[in-house]
Amino acid sequence: MAAIDGLPPLREVIAAHGLAAKKSLGQNFLLDLNLTAKIARAAGDLTGCDVLEVGPGPGGLTRGLLAEGARRVLAVEKDTRCLPALEEIAAAYPGRLEVVNGDALALDAAARLTAPVKVVANLPYNVGTELLIRWMTPQSWPPFWQSLTLMFQREVAERIVARPGSKAYGRLALMVQWRADARIVLSLPPEAFTPPPKISSAVVHVTALPEPRYPADAKILERVVAAGFNQRRKMLRASLRGLAPDIEDRLRAAGIAPTARAEEIPLEGFCALARSLAG
């Protein structure tokens, strides 16, 4: 394993601090520091940026982020067993790593960060989608972050970047792509992790747009998309019937055939329909 800093290899760190992986915390660690540096680089230039990392664990990705020049890393870790290992990293990078022991879902991270902010994380799978949805749906846009570089199960990553007409296309794709560019930048087999999970993984890079791609009210758009995809095999005139008595006219006004199904409609169409319903 190539050394990217003067700290011990991660296997030694794990042995020294007794960090046997806990399934309940979604712990699948990355021990190859070349790989964690690669994920850090996928976030783009980190110099001059604050980085929010969720779930640093024994600190492989944290070390990658610091070695790649992040101005400051705020790392939120639920498992107290990891704290001594993370303190050793903080000591090697004075003033650049702040570790918060707690649940990322309960922390107001934005209040502790200074712009520009990038979020980079090998997320616990059980909280990954929930955090993504929160980061994509703040009260106002643009959000506190410039980009998100996040590990997901491959299947979830495909849902985030999906295009109309594909099986994976749905609420997640529309929610993310309305206000951001999203692409898969790295694919990882189970063996990249210790212990290996049952599924493959992928890193998704999401860049916030300065404003939504097409105008629409966020709440109305969410309602339309949810109704359309809750019954994705039905024609829109049926699945959206509850939204307005004259839904067929409104669909036509938005340039959508009332007999079309949600999975065929591009983002632009959903936004046009949300505008028509707002009027």
Task: Point out which residues bind ligand SAM (CB under 6 A).
Answer: 25-30, 54-57, 60-61, 76-79, 82, 103-105, 122, 124, 127
Least distance between ligand SAM and beta carbon 29 (Å): 4
Provide the minimum distance between the beta carbon of 168 and ligand SAM in the complex, in angstroms, as a whole number: 22
Q: State in angstroms the smallest separation of the CB of 144 from ligand SAM.
A: 18
Half-sphere exposure of residue 172, counting CA atoms within 13 Å on the CB side?
22
Q: Which is nearer to ligand SAM, 89 or 271 (CB)?
A: 89
Closest residue (Cβ) to ligand SAM?
Answer: 55
When the beta carbons of 126 and 259 are compared against ligand SAM, the nearer one is 126
For ligand SAM, the closer CB: 27 or 177? 27
Residues with Cβ < 8 Å from 21, sequence gap 6 or more? 27, 28, 29, 194, 195
Q: Which is nearer to ligand SAM, 60 or 143 (CB)?
A: 60
Residue in 212, 48, 64 with CA at minimum distance from that of residue 114: 48
Q: How far is the CB of 58 from ligand SAM (least distance, A)?
A: 6
Whichever of 78 and 275 has its CB closer to ligand SAM, that residue is 78
Give min distance, CB of 270 to ligand SAM, in A. Answer: 31
Give me the least distance between CB of 184 and ligand SAM, in Å please: 18
Cβ closer to ligand SAM: 25 or 226? 25
Closest CA to 267 of 148, 176, 184: 176
